[in-house]
């Protein structure tokens, strides 16, 4: 049985934040109907990576990942017929997820107040860079802007030598958007549970910048109570640098004294291990420039994999610094079936990351790959809404679908 098989979701969203939110729910069995603009589609279709590096709207790895298990339809919401079809979809839906600029739904005449007249119990989740109100509501942003505005960039990376030469940094990929998507899924599920008890729908206003800022919780509390500000030079926590070895780097962490003793033990208890300079976790991190060459004498004898096994075998937290290839080939992840083979008409079988939550009774399933543009127009418009095929032809000619 699928955990969310009773939920119908309409998605009118682009790129990451909206589509990933609904993907999480689709993977647990919610029926997600993804609405794309006719002929154009979701912007993610035109983003890298592409199969064989050749741009193609059905072969973007980002799009394929973000849209598994969804039905795809095309619909022009600017056309009056498009609006009325949209409202028919909303009438049957539990949830609408959208990530358009705040003015868009209102200008289309499809804002929450209007849609609620069609469906009293509708849960509408709106994800925007700055939220539905406030002075910046109409400002533009992308992942870069949200990471910096949310306070995450200023403290990244940690422990740089000269913050004046090393500017604030965004994280790899689209972390702000993924975080916002996951948070949107959390609060949407709360709304679903709330509604099952009181029957009331609601409009959820989720800002990507705020999603990032709320994850600065630790820094906010430490500033509020202790007036401490952590930038890129003074890392908030003590962490060693990356340690080179034969074929790359490893990252280890010894927050407690017994970890350090085990590390020394693994290295054959060298004499310098007792040096005052390296007595505490803090002093070791602060004296990293002195510690590193001593550790290198040992680490350069081994590969990343060897050090990983040796140190973890001694109870020391240590991992190779992996790239995508190494992550994809991890035996541990393979045993856990984290990567799933998914077939798609345009790309053939590819291995995708799955969702990092394994359920004992209602595991996630992939029943269909990401939809081709308009792939399910017939199924949804004829099968579900009862339009005749001839009407679909007319709607296509009129640019509605």
First to last CA, the chain: 33
User: Is residue 268 a contact point for another protein (CB under 8 A)?
Assistant: no
158-177: which residues touch another protein (CB under 8 A)? 158-159, 163-164, 166-175
For another protein, what does the binding mask look like between residues 111 and 140, x meaning CB under 8 A? Answer: ------------x------xx-xxxx--xx
Phi, psi of 325 (to 5 degrees): -65, -45
Map the footprint of another protein across residues 269-308, applying CB under 8 A: none
Query: Hey, which residues between 244 and 263 contact another protein (CB under 8 A)?
Result: 249-253, 255
Choose which of 19, 38, 102, 153 interacts with another protein (CB under 8 A).
Answer: 153
53 contacts another protein (rule: CB under 8 A): yes
Quick one: which segment of 266-274, 334-342, 365-373, 392-400 binds another protein (CB under 8 A)? 334-342
From 117, 193, 271, 345, residue interacting with another protein (rule: CB under 8 A): 193
| Cβ-contact 32, 71 below 8 angstroms | yes
Among 113, 117, 276, 331, binds another protein (CB under 8 A): 331
Residue 140 vs 345, nearer CB to another protein: 140
Q: Quick one: which of 277, 276, 307 has its CA closest to 290?
A: 277
Q: Which long-range contacts (CB under 8 A, 24 or more apart) does 384-389 make?
A: 384/92, 385/85, 385/88, 385/89
Rule CB under 8 A: say whether 312 interacts with another protein. Answer: yes
Query: Min. distance of Cβ 71 from another protein in angstroms?
Result: 20
CB of 235 to another protein, least distance (A): 6
The yes or no reply on residue 321 touching another protein (CB under 8 A) is yes
Q: Does 64 bind another protein (CB under 8 A)?
A: yes
Among 57, 118, 215, 286, binds another protein (CB under 8 A): 215
The nearer residue to another protein, 81 or 215, going by C-beta atoms, is: 215
Q: CA 203 to CA 365: how far, in whole Å?
A: 29
Phi, psi dihedral angles at 124 (to 5 degrees)? -115, 120
* Cβ–Cβ under 8 Å, residues 174 and 16: yes
Residues with Cβ < 8 Å from 169, sequence gap 6 or more? 153, 156, 157, 232
Stretch that binds another protein, among 74-82, 95-103, 309-317, 366-374 (CB under 8 A): 309-317
98: helix, coil or strand? strand
Contact between 52 and another protein by CB under 8 A: the answer reads yes
Q: Is 355 in the site for another protein (CB under 8 A)?
A: yes
Selected binder of another protein within 108, 239, 310, 366 (CB under 8 A): 239
| Cβ(32)–Cβ(70) below 8 Å | yes
Contacting residue, 128, 207, 299, 377, with another protein by CB under 8 A? 207
Separation of alpha carbons 185 and 193, rounded Å: 12
Q: How far is the CB of 212 from another protein (least distance, A)?
A: 9
Q: 17 in helix, strand or coil?
A: helix
Q: Tell which positions 65-94 bind another protein, by CB under 8 A.
A: 65-66
Contact window for another protein (CB under 8 A) among 34-42, 62-70, 74-82, 391-399: 62-70
178 near another protein (CB under 8 A): yes
- With CB under 8 A as the contact rule, the residue among 358, 365, 378, 383 that binds another protein is 358
Residue 165 and residue 2 in contact, taking contact as beta carbons nearer than 8 Å: no
Helix 175-198 × helix 17-26 angle, to 10°? 50
Q: Which of 85, 206 has the CB closer to another protein?
A: 206
Question: Least distance from C-beta 41 to another protein, angstroms?
Answer: 17
Nearer residue to another protein within complex by CB, 139 or 298:
139
183-222: b or e for each residue (b if 16 or more CB lie within 10 Å)?
bbbebbbebbeebeeeeebbbbbbbbbbbbbebbeebeee
Q: For strand 95-98 and strand 123-128, is the pairing parallel, antiparallel, or unpaired?
A: parallel
Q: Which of 15, 195, 44 is nearest to 121 (CA)?
A: 195
């Amino acid at each position: 049985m699928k955990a969310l098989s009773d939920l119908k979701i309409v998605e009118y969203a682009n790129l990451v934040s909206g589509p990933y939110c609904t993907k999480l729910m689709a993977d647990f069995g919610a029926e997600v109907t993804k609405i794309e603009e006719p002929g154009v589609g979701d912007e993610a279709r035109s983003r890298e990576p592409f199969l064989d590096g050749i741009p193609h709207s059905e072969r973007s790895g980002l799009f394929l990942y973000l849209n598994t298990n969804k039905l795809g339809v095309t619909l022009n919401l600017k056309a009056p017929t498009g609006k009325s079809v949209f409202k028919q979809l909303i009438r049957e839906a539990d949830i609408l997820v959208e990530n358009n600029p705040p003015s868009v739904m209102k200008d289309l005449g499809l804002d929450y107040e209007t849609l609620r007249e069609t469906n009293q119990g509708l849960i509408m989740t709106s994800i925007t860079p700055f939220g539905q109100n406030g002075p910046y509501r109409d400002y533009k942003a992308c992942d870069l802007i949200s990471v910096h505005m949310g306070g995450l960039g200023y403290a990244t990376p940690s422990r740089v030598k000269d913050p004046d030469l090393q500017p604030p940094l965004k994280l790899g990929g689209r972390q702000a958007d993924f975080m916002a998507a996951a948070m949107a899924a959390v609060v949407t599920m709360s709304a679903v549970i709330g509604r099952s008890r009181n029957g009331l729908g609601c409009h959820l206003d989720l800002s990507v910048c705020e999603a990032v800022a709320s994850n600065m919780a630790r820094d906010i509390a430490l500033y509020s109570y202790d007036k401490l500000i952590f930038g890129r030079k003074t890392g908030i926590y003590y962490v060693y640098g990356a340690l080179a070895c034969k074929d790359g780097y490893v990252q280890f962490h010894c927050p407690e004294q017994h970890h350090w003793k085990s590390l020394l033990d693994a290295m054959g208890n060298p004499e310098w291990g007792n040096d005052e300079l390296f007595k505490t976790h803090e002093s070791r991190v602060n004296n990293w420039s002195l510690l590193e060459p001593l550790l290198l004498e040992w680490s350069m004898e081994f590969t990343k994999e060897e050090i990983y096994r040796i140190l973890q075998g001694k109870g020391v937290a240590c991992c190779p610094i992996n790239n995508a290839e190494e992550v994809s080939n991890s035996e541990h992840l393979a045993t856990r079936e984290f990567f799933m083979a998914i077939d798609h008409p345009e790309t053939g079988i590819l291995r995708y990351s799955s969702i990092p939550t394994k359920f004992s009774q209602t595991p996630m399933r992939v029943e269909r790959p990401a939809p081709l543009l308009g792939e399910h127009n017939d199924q949804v418009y004829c099968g579900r809404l009862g339009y005749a095929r001839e009407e679909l032809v007319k709607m296509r000619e009129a640019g509605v679908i």
